[in-house]
């Protein structure tokens, strides 16, 4: 995964609460073998409606998604994170995330920015009023800022998750940090055991 220090840009205000992973990426999309093309399935059941926010040209090119409370609930599917990223979003802001979705986000490089309900509501209203509002998410400082409306807020990230983002480390990358230890262990493998592949 790519390292992430700053996410900066405009946002899409998805003013719906309790958005679950089946609404983010319907189950029909889970049959795909490859890990590409999921952006076409993002909110696909809602995108048929012309007045759905992703169909509004005013929000074209946004890199941040603002969700309502309880975003990403439901079943575990990394496909939901992949769809959001492949559509062009690098971060999601909400006052509460489904824990599995949040964990999948951190392991795939999508920054979950959890803020208070007041901050989330203020930001949602501000972006609805001005789609060009610039937002900056600083992973190193663990802050969200929208200078034009005088908004600055902190968001929680554990040190381990922050390290993942700043260094661009998925689970494989974390494991490969111990390559020397792995090689040393493998060099002592008894000859009667199968070789590691």
pLDDT of res. 192: 78
Strands (E), 10-47: 11-14
Distance (Å, whole) CA 150 – CA 56 = 26
**28 Cβ partners below 8 Å, 6+ apart?**
41
Q: For 13-66, what is each residue's pLDDT tens digit?
A: 999 999 999 999 998 888 877 888 999 999 999 999 999 999 999 999 999 999
Q: How many Cβ atoms from other residues are within 10 Å of residue 28's Cβ?
A: 10
SS3 state of residue 181:
helix
Which has the closest alpha carbon to 111: 148, 158, 45, 165?
Answer: 165
Among 119, 17, 140, 149, residue whose Cα is nearest residue 70 = 17
The model's pLDDT over 98-135, given as tens digits with 9 standing for 90+, comes to 999 999 999 999 999 999 999 999 999 999 999 999 99
Confidence (pLDDT) at 197: 60
Place of tokens 């790519």: 2
In the chain, count of helices (H) and strands (E)?
Answer: 8, 8
Backbone angles phi, psi at 163, to 5 degrees: -60, -45
Please tell me the pTM assigned to this model: 0.89
The C-alpha atoms of residue 37 and residue 33 are separated, in whole angstroms, by 11
The per-residue pLDDT for range 18-29, each reduced to its tens digit, is 999 999 999 888
Q: How sure is the predictor about 178, in pLDDT bands with cuts at 50, 70 and 90?
A: low
The values of phi and psi at residue 141, to 5°, are: -90, -15
CA nearest to 83, candidates 30, 138, 157, 161: 30
């Amino acid at each position: 995964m790519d390292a992430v220090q700053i996410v900066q840009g405009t946002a899409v205000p998805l003013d719906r609460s309790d958005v679950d992973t089946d609404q983010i990426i319907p189950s029909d999309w889970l049959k795909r073998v490859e890990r590409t093309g999921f952006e076409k399935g993002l909110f696909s059941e809602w995108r048929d409606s012309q007045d759905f926010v992703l169909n509004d040209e005013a929000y074209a090119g946004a890199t941040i998604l603002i969700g309502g409370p309880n975003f990403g609930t439901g079943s575990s599917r990394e496909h939901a994170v992949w769809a959001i990223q492949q559509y062009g979003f690098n971060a999601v802001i909400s006052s509460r995330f489904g824990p599995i979705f949040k964990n999948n986000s951190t392991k795939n490089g999508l920054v979950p920015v959890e803020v208070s309900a007041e901050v989330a509501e203020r930001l949602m209203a501000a972006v609805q009023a001005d789609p060009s509002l610039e937002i900056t998410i600083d992973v190193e400082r663990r802050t969200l800022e929208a200078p034009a409306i005088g908004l600055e807020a902190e968001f929680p990230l554990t040190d381990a998750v922050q390290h993942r983002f700043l260094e661009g480390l998925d689970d494989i990358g974390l494991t490969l940090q111990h390559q020397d230890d792995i090689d040393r262990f493998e060099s002592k493998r008894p000859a009667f055991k199968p070789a590691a592949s």
